[in-house]
Structure 1
Amino acid sequence: MTPRNARPQPQVLLMVPTSVGVGLTSASLGLMQALDTIGLKAGFLKPFRQDELNGPGPDRSTALVSSTLGLEAPPPMPQAEMERLLRQDRLDVLMEQVIELHDQAIERQAGTAPELIVVEGVVPTAHGTYATQLNTHLAHALNARIILVGSGDTVEPRVLAEQLDMHAQAFGGIGSARTLGCILMRMPNPPGSEAPPLLAPGGRMQVDERLLAELRRYSPALATDRFHLIGVVPYNAALIAPRVVDVARALNARFLSEGDAANRRVLSTSLCARSAANALHAFRPGNLIVTSGDRDDIVLASALATMNGVPMAGVLLTNGYMPNDNMIEMCRPALKTGMPVLAVDTDSFTTAKDLGRMGNDIPMDDLERAEQVTRFVAEHIDLQWLKDHLSRGYASRLSPSAFRYQLVKLAQQADRRIVLPEGSEPRTVEAAAICQQRGIARCVLLARREEVEEVARNRGIELPEGLEIIDPESIRVRYIAPMVERRGGKVNALTAEDQLQDNVVLGTMMLQLDEVDGLVSGAIHTTANTVRPAFQLIKTAPDYRQVSSIFFMLLPEQVVVYGDCAVNPDPDAEALAEIAIQSARSAQAFGIEPRVAMISYSTGESGSGVDVEKVREATRLARQQAPDLLIDGPLQYDAAAIESVGRQKAPDSPVAGRATVFVFPDLNTGNTTYKAVQRSARVVSVGPMLQGLNKPVNDLSRGALVDDIVYTIALTAIQAAQRMNP
């Protein structure tokens, strides 16, 4: 059973639009084509559907990626479901569902796993004011790098620079390692330039230097190595030209003659209210003539132009007027050439406004246009820069959403039986019911059934079928003899019977005899109450001489490990080295790439004293015992956690600024730090998870919430499965 992060995870590129109508899907298609050109396999994900942009039917972006690039992607979450979770302030659940979609996007790719996943972000609209919030959470949940997709006028570079700068702020700013750069779509040619930006030999962009200079002037970071103009895609009217059939759909028009409406494209439109003699300029290739249905002269002129070989887009008749039969008969030869004729009931002015409001989105069934747009955008992407920079090191992070999703999924796969000695404690009862319903674990409550049922009635909990409730009084006696045998003469039958009155001891004996796979306690017991029986009856694993603990700290952008914050008051250097190795292995087992920081009040060689020397010696021993692990110390907390501080205080450290496992020098420091971070920053902490035991026993904080207990049960089930299948 392998955590999702134990296998190589594809890098995620989140495409964040700066406004409506910038060509987000076109940019995504072009980028994926460009990645394929340089030999990088990409998958695609659109997490959320936006009905006001998509309209009825399947999701447009997902369908176009499938038809154009042959990539299968999971359907996005319905907008109503997404908005319901937002209203209920359940962002954590929303992001866990995104992680599930992300995993589906990987699994749907045929052959080898993709190296990158291109994710289409949320478009800011008048209806959806949550776009920035959701895109920020998507970036954190997926550990994504950001590519902004924008558009603008080269005549006003200040506006364009400020727009990009503003949108980058949500992701740490333009200078952040998370923010890669931008793709500018549908850009008008620079003033005085006849041709659009082209690619030089070797795939490098020849971006107009005046544009770059102006952008640097207003935002110097825009053209640095940190933030790049990945693509500048010029405006091309032919690539946004709809087919006549698309116009008919948008205006709800009816065809008088459909002709070649599925293939003819509307390159321009002309509203003809003057006589045909004064509108001769309108009869040109690709033009859609808009005129009142009673303007026989315009209708005849259109037919004549068509018969003379001018491939006009078609004729759109307004005001609900229809040509008479004689007129239709006269135009029959023109209709046979395939010229489409449509009719609407609105007047000419209103019809022209409706045409102007048509979106530029590519219809799902317009494969020709989708392929042309994909190729065109890809041709204006800086291929060499992509090749050079997408392989650049980017610290692997496991987001809180990914961690929670992974916990539940792996626990469901484990299918383990977990005993809960505090069987009638209300939070424990609710957590057990949730675990049973979701298949996280098969829970065993040690309590009288009537007590559990009373708790359930009082809290409105529905006890699921299959939830085990065992009355401890009915089973205590059968564990007396095994306990006497296990304790090796340290207890007799009378003292064993007395100790077994404690349900934690009883549950621990059930675990020792393999009747259950793990134990979770501590909601109303101290850590000592939970751990002491485990020390006596379960004992330490063969590779370890002590038991320690870790907390999984669900920070806003990633999950890190704190150890030891619950068990060992003042470990010596040898014990501290073992805690570091235990914690690193536990982190790795749950999908966190271990980069271990040995925490002290000084960094490197800057400090001295007994406490610092202990950490320095522990670091040396840990490196000696586990040379494959990234371990460094002593490091101050800020040097370990914050990239800029780490570069300053320990520039040569492979851990500083990137630590994922924090090993504290003693219980006083560890417990104080974890509680300060948990309470002050409102961080969810999962644990403590005990490590070093022969079988999984885990302690709860007495202030644990129901969700905390659920996740601890999941942890325990996973530990049990990993013990059986190392």
Structure 2
Amino acid sequence: MNRTTPRVFIAATRQNDGKTTTSLGLMAALQRYYPRVGYIKPVGQRFVEIAEQKIDEDTVLMDSVYKLNCPLVDMSPIAVEPDFTRRYLESANNDALVEKIQRAFDRVAWEKDFVLCEGSGHAGVGAVFDLSNAQVARVLDAKVIIVSRGGIGKPIDEVTLNKALFDKEGVEIIGVIINKVLPEKIDYISDFARRGLARKGLELLGVLPHLPILTRPSIATIMEELHAQPLNEGRPLHTLVHDLIIGAMSVHNALRCFQPGVLAIVPGDREDILLALAAALDAGAPIGAAGIVLVDEFKPDLTVREVIRQMPFPVLLAEGDSYTVTSKIHDLVVKTRPDDLEKINLIRDLIGRHVDVPKILRALGGTPHNAAATPAATA
């Protein structure tokens, strides 16, 4: 396997702590030093099917944003299907899986100056089939950056727990990035987290502020999660949802709640609200919405559906009652999508300003091609 191309492995203390956000922004930061950066997610757990291949959705995101000029199947060599673990436990084939990852890495690294490797959770994820993040980092001969969620005590405790498994595999952790910190606490967290990590022999590489926009779902994400049917095609689906309301009040009170960025959950038989909303829009009233989700399996009649087709924002029809649908949206894990351009630009800037990329490169022992690049600000 290629052991000369510089590489780094992005792990986390838990799922959804910010690995993909970090990888997305770090890719842009690395390109300031290395002209050709490759990407691989050796083991993926959430995938989509493309050309009959199961490809991790984070790989699709990275390729869509950065046009990586590498087959998707090489950047996502192993997709953990629902019966993957059972089949492995029945007939372990670790050598074949390791060889598959290493061959994929060689193809990803071909003619590249650097490779960014993204893990799939904490150090132990995948241990059941002998491919934990710690084991995969060892297989790829990669040093590790751990991403943890905001705070002081809890992230240091969790990083220490993860470090034990990386140490067991002989994998070096070059530092920690702490994510989702309240902006007003950045300096405080940076100071004390740096002290606490130093006691564990670890460097603090950056502290990222919590930005609510990154956790707000788009209408497209919600439609996909609910398997909802659009009732008025051609409306903008990339609008971000800032707030939810349930249309279980009087028409007068409901209309006051319709504001830009609001997603309204409305029983499908509340035709009074829909007709009043349409009339208010026609009259030029200062109201709006990110969209409407009709629930309770009551479909409006044909006359009302014609009115819905004229509304300027998406109206979706979803199965389930108001509570079930609202709970699904509330509990939704928001992942950055290729068409979330505002979020992607924000993430690039976030990493560029708050992560010490030169420190990362020094820890990796690499010699950037663009040594004159302006270094990123430290946390």
Common topology (TM > 0.5): yes
If you compute each CA radius of gyration, which structure gives the higher value, 1 or 2? 1
- 3-state SS of 2:225 partner: helix
Match of residue 262, structure 1, among 237, 251, 254: 237
C-alpha distance in 1 between matches for 2:15 and 2:261: 27
CA contact (8 A) 1:64 1:370 kept: no
- 3-state SS of 1:37 partner: coil
CA contact (8 A) 2:144 2:175 kept: yes
Give 1:147 deviation, angstroms.
0.6
Tell me which amino acid in the other structure corresponds to 2:246. Answer: L
CA contact (8 A) 1:259 1:339 kept: no
Question: How many equivalent residue pairs?
Answer: 353
C-alpha distance in 1 between matches for 2:121 and 2:343: 20
Give 1:99 deviation, angstroms.
1.3
Give 1:88 deviation, angstroms.
4.2
Unaligned runs of 5+ in 1: 108-112, 192-207, 396-726
CA contact (8 A) 1:68 1:370 kept: no
Match of residue 147, structure 2, among 146, 149, 169: 149
Give 1:90 deviation, angstroms.
4.3
Q: What is residue 91 of structure 1 aligned with on the other side?
A: 94
Q: What is residue 369 of structure 2 aligned with on the other side?
A: none
Q: Does 1:76 align with 2:86?
A: no
Given the two structures, how large is their TM-score scaled by the length of structure 1? 0.44
Q: What is residue 43 of structure 1 aligned with on the other side?
A: 38
Match of residue 13, structure 1, among 8, 11, 16: 8
Match of residue 263, structure 2, among 274, 278, 288: 288
Give 1:238 deviation, angstroms.
2.3
**What pairs with 1:161-200 in structure 2 (closer than 5 Å)?**
161-172=156-167, 178-190=172-184
CA contact (8 A) 2:175 2:202 kept: yes
Per the alignment, do residues 140 and 101 of structure 1 end up closer, same or farther by CA in structure 2, a change over 3 Å counting?
A: same
CA contact (8 A) 1:232 1:381 kept: yes
Give 1:28 deviation, angstroms.
0.8
Match of residue 312, structure 1, among 281, 285, 289: 289
Give 1:68 deviation, angstroms.
0.3
CA contact (8 A) 1:29 1:65 kept: yes
CA contact (8 A) 2:13 2:146 kept: yes
- 3-state SS of 1:264 partner: coil
CA contact (8 A) 1:38 1:387 kept: no
Q: What is residue 324 of structure 1 aligned with on the other side?
A: 301
Match of residue 223, structure 2, among 242, 248, 266: 248
Per the alignment, do residues 358 and 388 of structure 1 end up closer, same or farther by CA in structure 2, a change over 3 Å counting?
A: closer
Q: What is residue 720 of structure 1 aligned with on the other side?
A: none
Unaligned runs of 5+ in 2: 367-379
Q: What is residue 678 of structure 1 aligned with on the other side?
A: none
Q: What is residue 351 of structure 1 aligned with on the other side?
A: 325
Given the two structures, how large is their TM-score scaled by the length of structure 2? 0.80
Give 1:129 deviation, angstroms.
5.6
Q: What is residue 361 of structure 2 aligned with on the other side?
A: 390
C-alpha distance in 2 between matches for 1:132 and 1:30: 30
Q: What is residue 59 of structure 2 aligned with on the other side?
A: 62
Per the alignment, do residues 138 and 36 of structure 1 end up closer, same or farther by CA in structure 2, a change over 3 Å counting?
A: same
Higher relative contact order (CA 8 A, sep 6+): 2
Q: What is residue 136 of structure 1 aligned with on the other side?
A: 134
Give 1:71 deviation, angstroms.
0.8
C-alpha distance in 2 between matches for 1:376 and 1:304: 43
Q: What is residue 341 of structure 1 aligned with on the other side?
A: 315
Give 1:290 deviation, angstroms.
0.5
Give 1:69 deviation, angstroms.
0.9
CA contact (8 A) 2:11 2:123 kept: no
Q: Deviations over 1:432-475 (max 9, x none)?
A: xxxxxxxxxxxxxxxxxxxxxxxxxxxxxxxxxxxxxxxxxxxx
Tell me which amino acid in the other structure corresponds to 1:227. Answer: L
CA contact (8 A) 1:285 1:310 kept: yes
Give 1:145 deviation, angstroms.
0.8
Per the alignment, do residues 266 and 378 of structure 1 end up closer, same or farther by CA in structure 2, a change over 3 Å counting?
A: same
Per the alignment, do residues 131 and 280 of structure 1 end up closer, same or farther by CA in structure 2, a change over 3 Å counting?
A: farther
Q: What is residue 375 of structure 2 aligned with on the other side?
A: none
C-alpha distance in 1 between matches for 2:300 and 2:317: 10
For the aligned residue pairs, the C-alpha RMSD in angstroms reads 3.3
